[in-house]
Amino acid sequence: MADEKPQGENLKKGTPKAAGFDAKPPSRSDAKNIVEQRKAEQPKTRVTKASSTKSPPKKVTPKSKSKTKVSTRKPSGVKKKSGKGVTRKKKSKKKKKAKVTVQISLPALIIAVVIVAVIIGLLLAWQITGFRVFPVVKQQTTTSITVEPGMTARQISKLLEEEGVVANAKDFERYSKNGEIATKLQPGTHTFEPNLSHAEIGEILVSSPSATAQTIIIYDGYTIDEIDHMLATRNFIQTGDFKQAAKQVAEERGLPFDEGWFLSGSYPLTKDVYALARTMQDALHEAIRPHLVNLEDLDITVAQMVIIASMIQRETNTVAQMPSIAGVIYNRLKANMTLGIDATIRYGLDAWHRALTTKDLNSNNPYNTRKIKGLPPTGIGCPSSAALEAALHPAVHDYFYYIHDPTGQIYFAKTYDEHKDNIAKYLPNR
pLDDT digits (tens, 9 = 90+) for 252-262: 999 999 999 99
Rounded (10°) CA dihedral 71, 77, 78, 79: 120
Assess if residue 196 is contained within a domain. Answer: yes
DSSP code, position 239: T
Q: What confidence score (pLDDT) does residue 80 get?
A: 46
* CB burial string 312-327: b at 16+ within 10 A, e below: bbbbbeeeebbbbbbb
User: Is pLDDT at 126 greater than 70 in this prediction?
Assistant: no
On the CB side of 242, CA atoms within 13 Å amount to: 28
Q: Are residues 298 and 362 in the same domain?
A: yes
Q: Are residues 300 and 367 in the same domain?
A: yes
Burial of 269 by CB count in 10 Å (0-12 exposed, 13-18 middle, 19+ buried)? buried
Assess if residue 230 is contained within a domain. Answer: yes
CATH number at residue 167: 3.30.1490.480
Rounded-to-integer distance, Cα 165 and Cα 158, Å: 10
Rounded-to-integer distance, Cα 259 and Cα 36, Å: 142
Residue 276: pLDDT band with limits 50, 70, 90: very high
Assess if residue 72 is contained within a domain. Answer: no
* Average pLDDT of every residue of the chain: 79
Q: Are residues 153 and 200 in the same domain?
A: yes
Name which of 283, 246, 299, 274 is nearest 388 in CA terms: 283
Compare 189 and 214 and report the one with higher pLDDT: 189
Assess if residue 266 is contained within a domain. Answer: yes
Residue range 417-425: average pLDDT?
95
Compare 186 and 263 and report the one with higher pLDDT: 263
pLDDT in tens, 10-41: 434 444 444 444 455 566 676 677 667 766 66
DSSP code, position 407: T
Rounded-to-integer distance, Cα 188 and Cα 210, Å: 8
Assess if residue 362 is contained within a domain. Answer: yes
Find the helix or strand (DSSP H, E) in which 60 lies. Answer: none
Cα angle 375, 379, 383; round to 5: 125
Q: Identify the domain boundary among 205, 226, 254.
A: 205
Give how many domains the chain has, as a whole number: 3
Of 160-164, 188-192, 255-259, 379-383, least confident by mean pLDDT is 188-192
pLDDT in tens, 58-68: 444 444 444 44
Q: Are residues 302 and 395 in the same domain?
A: yes
Cα angle 118, 120, 124; round to 5: 115
Q: Are residues 342 and 419 in the same domain?
A: yes
Q: Are residues 315 and 284 in the same domain?
A: no
Q: What confidence score (pLDDT) does residue 375 get?
A: 97
Q: What confidence score (pLDDT) does residue 51 get?
A: 46
pLDDT in tens, 303-321: 999 999 999 999 998 999 9
Q: Are residues 284 and 310 in the same domain?
A: no
End-to-end CA distance of the chain: 174
Assess if residue 376 is contained within a domain. Answer: yes
On the CB side of 154, CA atoms within 13 Å amount to: 0
Assess if residue 39 is contained within a domain. Answer: no
Assess if residue 373 is contained within a domain. Answer: yes
Q: Are residues 225 and 180 in the same domain?
A: no
Compare 313 and 176 and report the one with higher pLDDT: 313
Radius of gyration of the chain from Cα atoms? 57
Q: Are residues 372 and 303 in the same domain?
A: yes
Q: Are residues 309 and 380 in the same domain?
A: yes
Compare 303 and 189 and report the one with higher pLDDT: 303
Cβ neighbours of residue 167 under 8 Å, at least 6 residues apart? Answer: 134, 135, 136, 137, 161
Domain range for residue 381?
Answer: 293-426
Q: Are residues 304 and 400 in the same domain?
A: yes
Q: What percent of the chain has pLDDT over 70?
A: 70
Q: Identify the domain boundary among 205, 240, 255.
A: 205
Residue 389: pLDDT band with limits 50, 70, 90: very high
Q: Are residues 193 and 230 in the same domain?
A: no
Q: Identify the domain boundary among 205, 228, 248.
A: 205
Q: What confidence score (pLDDT) does residue 348 get?
A: 95
